[in-house]
Structure formats: C-alpha cells, structure tokens
Structure 1
C-alpha cells in the first residue's frame, strides 16, 4: 500500500502544472475590461485578476522587480507603451498569432501590441463650421481659425503624439511654425480634457477642437453631455500626403511574467475576432483587426485612412515633439 501511495504521488508531481490565473495591471478601469476578461475566463477557465494602476505603473513594476505578480500590462497611448519598453519592464513576444496587429500599430521589437485604435480628430460645430471647411491638420494653423479653436494642454500625451506625427511628416522647423500658428488661433488658454472642449463649442466659446473619437461615444451615453455631442460632428483631418493620426490602447507582457503561458493565451484572445469586437464596442474604438467590423455607432462617424507613420517612429520622436511644444510655450 505504501508503495502504491508513493508511486501515485510521484506520478502526480510529474504532471505539468497549468496556470489557472493571469494578473493584469491596467491603466483602464477594471469595469471597462470586464466584458473581455469574463469572455476569456468562460472560454479557457483561466481567472483574470485586474489591478487598476492609474499612475506610476513603471515605477511599481521596477520596485517589484522579479517578484511582480503582473503578467500583462494594458494601457493607452503609445507614450505609456514606449515608457514601459524603455524602462525594461516588458519582454519580446514572438507569437505569430499577434501578427494580426498591423506593423504600424505594434512595437518594432514586439514588446507591445495595439488592441484598439482611436483617431485624433476635429470636433466641429454643426452651426458655425461648414462641411469641408477643415480638412488637414496643417490647416489648423491658418489665420482663418483665429479665436476659434479649443484644446486641452498640448503637453498631454495625445497632443504630444499628434505633434510627433507632424514632426515625422514635416520636420522640426515646420512643426514649430505649425505649433505657433495653432497657438495663435486659440480661443482660450488650453484647459480641461477633450470633452471639455466639446462643451466649449456647445457653449459658443469656440468652433472647433481636437479630440479622440471615442469621447463621442462616451458623451452620448451621458445625459448631460449628450447635448454637447449633438452640437458637433466628427471630422477626420489628414496630414498633407498622409492620413489621419491614430493612437492605440495596447498590451505588453511584463519582463517577469509568472504565468507566461496563461498570459500568452490572454494576448491571443485579445486579438481574436471575438475580443476585438467586444473591446472596440465597449469603448467606442476601432478594432486593429481588419477582420472585425466597426460598431454601428463608430461606423456612423464615417470612413477614414489611417496615417502610415508607425507608432514606433512616433514614440521615438515624442521627446523632440515635447521640446518644440515647450519652446513655443504652447500652454502659456
């Protein structure tokens, strides 16, 4: 009997131990990810533990080091993704399944991958801005817009990324001149967030603003903000010789992921057609996969051509872009 028990124990310990959980540090509120994580758990039986980390994600991962429980990081904006990579707290992921993400929307070294995209567009007053009156980002520096533009701080990550994209297209001198022209056209000092700019258009304080597309979806769900959203239309400007600037929400595997196989399964799921549809519709964003249609609301905003400049290049140009923004004292 003793021999049988010993043999049974040896046999049991020889079996592979499969991870039954994956831990995610998220810049987004867990409730925004819950439809995704619930679907993944239903499909695989793997539990997803999500920790909301609003600030200091890099510092937290560095402090935790090899003891970090985090397997994946989910965040927004190429700036945050690039910061994670540059800090050495992520790792390369070679899985072919992730090739569904276009090269322009993933890190050149495969340290991070876009999951959804959002366009940096113009919100234009339906009453005071004619169709076709604004078509390019370059046009925003035209004196015809003097006193008519609202924006949040240009040192905000979204606007720094847009400036870096402008820099990629036109170089430093032209970008500085564009920033000076855009600043001269402001109706007020930069303040608030993207939705605050739409409120200002509704209130008649300005005629156009810069913003991310998904804020339209968020405003339409809010009883107070719905009237702001209904006072504007979305315009997809382009760069001269390019397309509309887009940014991403994305995912990266941590350098010390303790549940690497389970984390890889979750990454595979996140780029699947099922997850792409859930994530994009929940957040009013665009799927990165060409196989997945946009939600009815997002599709109603119209078609556009994303810019061809890769987000990896934009990430590299961010420091220079921020320097130019500070040189012209844009927010001053």
Structure 2
C-alpha cells in the first residue's frame, strides 16, 4: 500500500469487509462551526458509526460531564484552546488512550503528556495593523508594550482564553516578572477598554478606534474567503499583519483539540474518530472549511490561509502553556487588564 494512503481510506477498506465498526459515538463539542458538519458526515459514511452531538460552551460541557459522572454518555470532548483541554483533564473527565496513529501523526508538543488530549488544528495569534497610520508596526509581542504605541492597541478581555494562553506563553518564554511588565505596558497602550471577539479587534482597525490589534489568523482568513460583516475587501486592503517573534520563539499558536471521555461507553469508536481527525482528509478540511492550520505536518492549507504567508510557529509545549494560565490570570488582575 502506498505510504501516502490516508487513514480514512484505510478505514473505508476495513469497513468493506466487516461491520464491527458500526455503532454510535456521543460527541460533546464546543466547536461552533457549521463547516464541521462535513467532518462528521464523512466519518459516518466511511465507518458506519453514527455521531450523536451535544453542543455548548466548553466550561458548561465539562461541568455537565462531571455531574453525569460514571453515567455520562459522552465519548469525546472537542473544544478550542489548550487551557480548556487542560481544564477538562484537571476535572477528571478525560482518560489516557493508546493510539499509534495519533502518536505518529500529531506532533509531540500538541499532545498532552498523559495522552488525555490531542490538538487537531491550529490558529496563529498575530499582530494586525492599519497600514495608513502605522509605518513601523510591532515585530514581536514584546513590542506591543513599547510606549511608541500608546493609545493604539486593541485586545480582548483578560477573561478570554486566547488572552490567557498568550500571556501564559509570554511567561514561559520570558519569565513571570518580564511578562508582568509586558502586560502592564500593553494596558498602558490600550486605545479602548478590552471588548468583543477577535473579529471586533479587526473591525476596530476599520473603524479607526485602534491602529494595532491582535487576532487569530482564521478570523482574517475567513474574511478573505467570504464576506464578513464589517470587514469589506476595500477596508481589508489597508490592514497589514505581522507574524510576531520570527527571530525568536515564533508566533503563538492556539489549538483546537479533543480527548476521549473518562467514562466513554463507546471508547473504541471514540479512538477511531480521534484517529480520523488526524487523517489527511480531515486535516485538509480543517483548513478548507474553517481557515485553520492543520496540526499534522505536510498537509496542504487552503488558499485563504496561504494568503497570509509562511511563518515560524512557537512550538512551545501545549501543556507548559496550560500550566502557566493561573499565573497569567494573576498578572492580569495585578496590572488592571479588564
């Protein structure tokens, strides 16, 4: 068999000779993207396994799994961001699994050290700026605290997981004291109080409320691929971007991933689904359908994502980032980052 044969093709071949894979899979997901429907339908078509979904916010799903205990029907939890995956692990709602496929395909820094969760897609958290007003944009996260950018920076609130994991990565790369000074400097440079989501930070550039903002790449790539309210093509033409810290640690990456539930009634099917998410077909769809970067090296990216260009990612271990989130929240409180 050609070594490039996808995991999905292998599953199709297996199900042609046996019905053993048929059954159900109960998926708890906080991924709110309509484009994920294709992931689910392709898996069912290939394996005969029916996916039953419960969707909600990550923290609510974790609490639900805790409350359900040993009687929980959940087989898999899918969610966004390292901190939430680690939160689920700490809550005891995930279990360690063994999978040669996942070990081989998902880079080690995107795996939980106990194999309780794995990353399946990535988003780079980068700097966007108004090219008409900023001729010398920040080249790194550290630069965002430079007084030269006073009154220019927009960012999300400190309660947002993207903010928390970014600061957690700054702590890991530069130390806690330096991270505190950085956070204070960014607060001093705010153009407005933290508010809204990533798309709102980009809209702030269009409206003129700010000249520099931080956003995950897939929000901007989505606006390239299709119409997004408040980000018309003529306005986007004035927005530039910088992949930070290219001469240092690289651009911070947010993960979307999942793990097998601690009391999964359909554990074998859950592992099959996790392995499917690491297949070439599913990995390509994370990019084509939701403008994300694949977790598996060598998988092609969509044109909208490719428009942003090549860059060096920060390959800081995801568990290390998650472990620094409590310290990040403490710093946010101390420096007055709302």
TM over 0.5: yes
The aligned runs of 1:1-332 (5 Å cut-off) are 19-29=22-32, 31-54=34-57, 55-99=59-103, 100-130=105-135, 133-220=137-224, 221-227=226-232, 229-238=236-245, 241-331=248-338
Q: Does the CA-based 8 Å contact 2:287-2:305 persist in structure 1?
A: no
SS of residue paired to 1:226: coil
- Whether the 8 Å contact between 1:30 and 1:51 is mirrored in structure 2 is no
User: Counterpart of 2:14?
Assistant: none
Secondary structure, aligned partner of 1:127: coil
How big is the shift at 1:124?
1.1
SS in 1 for 2:186: helix
Q: Secondary structure at the match of 2:205?
A: helix
> Which secondary structure state, in structure 2, belongs to the residue aligned with residue 218 of structure 1?
helix
Residue aligned with 1:124, SS: strand
The answer for the alignment partner of 2:3 in structure 1 is: none
Q: Output one character per residue of 1:203-241: Cα deviation in whole Å (capped at 9) or x when no partner.
A: 111111011111113334235333254441232112763
Q: Summarize deviations over 1:171-192 as a string: whole Å, max 9, x none.
A: 1111111111111111111111
Q: Tell me whether 288-297 or 160-169 shows the greater mean CA deviation.
A: 288-297
Structure 1: where are the runs of 5+ without partners?
1-14
- CA shift for structure 1 position 308: 2.6
* Contact in 2 for aligned 1:84/1:90 (Cα 8 Å): yes
Structure 1 residues 229 and 75: alpha-carbon distance in aligned structure 2, compared to 1, 3 A threshold: farther
Moved more, 167-176 or 232-241: 232-241
d(CA) in 2 for partners of 1:135 and 1:59? 40
- How far residue 60 of structure 1 moved from its aligned partner, in angstroms, is 0.2
In the alignment, the residues of structure 2 paired with residue 286 and residue 280 of structure 1 have an alpha-carbon distance, to the nearest angstrom, of 6
Larger mean Cα displacement after TM superposition, 44-53 or 160-169? 44-53
Encode CA deviations 1:9-48: one digit per residue, 9 max, x unaligned.
xxxxxx9975511110000126332110111111111111
Could you tell me the TM-score, scaled by structure 1's length? 0.91
| Structure 2 Cα separation of the partners of residues 39 and 299 of structure 1 | 25
Alpha-carbon shift at residue 133 of structure 1 (Å): 2.6
Judged with a 3 Å threshold, the aligned counterparts in structure 2 of structure 1 residues 297 and 210 are, in CA distance, closer, same or farther, namely same
CA distance in 1, matches of 2:35, 2:73: 21
CA distance in structure 2 between the aligned counterparts of 1:48 and 1:94, rounded to whole angstroms: 22
Give the C-alpha shift of residue 108 in structure 1.
1.1
Unaligned runs of 5+ in 2: 1-17
Q: Which has the larger radius of gyration?
A: 1
Give the alignment's Cα RMSD to 1 decimal: 1.8
TM-score norm. by structure 2 comes to: 0.89
Contact 1:94 1:110 in 2 (8 A): yes
